[in-house]
Amino acid sequence: MNLSISNLCKTYGPHQVLRNVALEIEDGHCVALIGPSGSGKSTLLRVLAGLELPDGGDRTTASVTWDDVPMHFSDNALFEYRRGVGTVFQAYNLFPHMSALENIALPLRVVHGRTAEVARREALDQLARLGLEAHAAKRPGQLSGGQRQRVAIARAIAARPRVVFLDEPTSALDPEMKAEVLSLIAEIKSQRRDLILVTHEMHFAKMVADHMVFLADGQILQTGTPQQVMDEPTHPVIQSFFSRVLKFA
């Protein structure tokens, strides 16, 4: 992916979450957004995923361009844009009254216009690929946390989106389930899908990402390869962050 961002701002009430964010990524395949809690990582991801709007006064000046195609923030444009991307949330966001199969098939029918039979077949195919075919009829409450997150990932990739956004997908999981989901994300990346990932798993980010973006207080402090950002931090905030989070890793 080629991604260009300029003058992107986002405010909630009196709190400015993103401050004139600017970013240029060329030939990125997996981008990791990292930084302290409250730094604006998830908000940036949600704007890029078409789930949040830039500030009203900045919509005309904020610019997001994917592979030389500008992103527009009108309701109709965003509806069409979201059809071409997939998003995985830290809280799964599965429908509790539907089976795993139905959770995957529903957006294929409603958003992407598949027939019921085609949607069912494609959903079963995704479940089989992720080793979940035995759980197709189970509702989310009958699944483990790792299984629920794998269903959420299957839903996100079922329509073959051009970019998959993952917002701290392992934050609610125990170590074994976390390893299961991280292994799946690494597998998806190996299939040459474009990913943008918000994570606190630093070693995983270093292993899987080809581009890393460090945010703090709503601003990007450093970008580069994971090795450049983690091994050669250029800002005191980044140096302090890694000295803490990697101390007992």
Same structural domain, 18 and 134: no
Question: Is 154 part of a structural domain of the chain?
Answer: yes
The two counts, helices (H) then strands (E), for the chain are 9, 10
Mean pLDDT by 10 residues, the chain (249 residues): 94 92 94 96 96 71 91 92 92 92 96 95 92 95 91 92 92 82 86 91 92 97 96 95 84
Give pLDDT, residue 58. Answer: 43
Same structural domain, 78 and 196: yes
Question: Is 36 part of a structural domain of the chain?
Answer: yes
Domain end residue (candidates: 143, 161, 179): 161
Contact indicator for 162, 135 with CB cutoff of 8 Å? no
DSSP 166-206: EESTTTTS-HHHHHHHHHHHHHHHHTT-EEEEE-S-HHHHH
| H-helix or E-strand spanning residue 209 | none
Give pLDDT, residue 57. Answer: 45
Q: Single out the residue of 116, 177, 174, 176 nearest to residue 151, CA to CA.
A: 177
Sign of CA dihedral 179, 175, 173, 238: negative
Question: Is 34 part of a structural domain of the chain?
Answer: yes
Same structural domain, 2 and 67: yes
Domain end residue (candidates: 161, 180, 209): 161
Domain end residue (candidates: 116, 142, 161): 161
Same structural domain, 43 and 118: no
Same structural domain, 39 and 54: yes
Same structural domain, 79 and 123: no
Question: What is the Cα–Cα distance from 49 to 63, expressed in whole angstroms?
Answer: 14
Give pLDDT, residue 172. Answer: 73
Same structural domain, 55 and 172: yes
Sheet holding 211-216, edge to edge: 85-88, 163-167, 194-198, 30-34, 211-216, 219-224
Same structural domain, 152 and 130: yes
Q: Which domain holds residue 240?
A: 1-84+165-249
Question: Is 189 part of a structural domain of the chain?
Answer: yes
Give the CATH number, domain containing residue 186: 3.40.50.300
Give pLDDT, residue 60. Answer: 56
Same structural domain, 171 and 79: yes
Same structural domain, 67 and 178: yes
Q: Single out the residue of 226, 177, 222 nearest to residue 30, CA to CA.
A: 226
pTM of the model: 0.91
Q: How many domains does the chain have?
A: 2
Give pLDDT, residue 249. Answer: 62
Question: Is 234 part of a structural domain of the chain?
Answer: yes
Question: What is the Cα–Cα distance from 106 to 239, expressed in whole angstroms?
Answer: 45
Same structural domain, 39 and 19: yes
Q: Single out the residue of 222, 213, 161 nearest to residue 188, CA to CA.
A: 161
Question: Is 89 part of a structural domain of the chain?
Answer: no
Nearest-10 Cα torsion for 31, 35, 40, 46: 30
Question: Is 142 part of a structural domain of the chain?
Answer: yes
Same structural domain, 80 and 170: yes
Question: Is 120 part of a structural domain of the chain?
Answer: yes
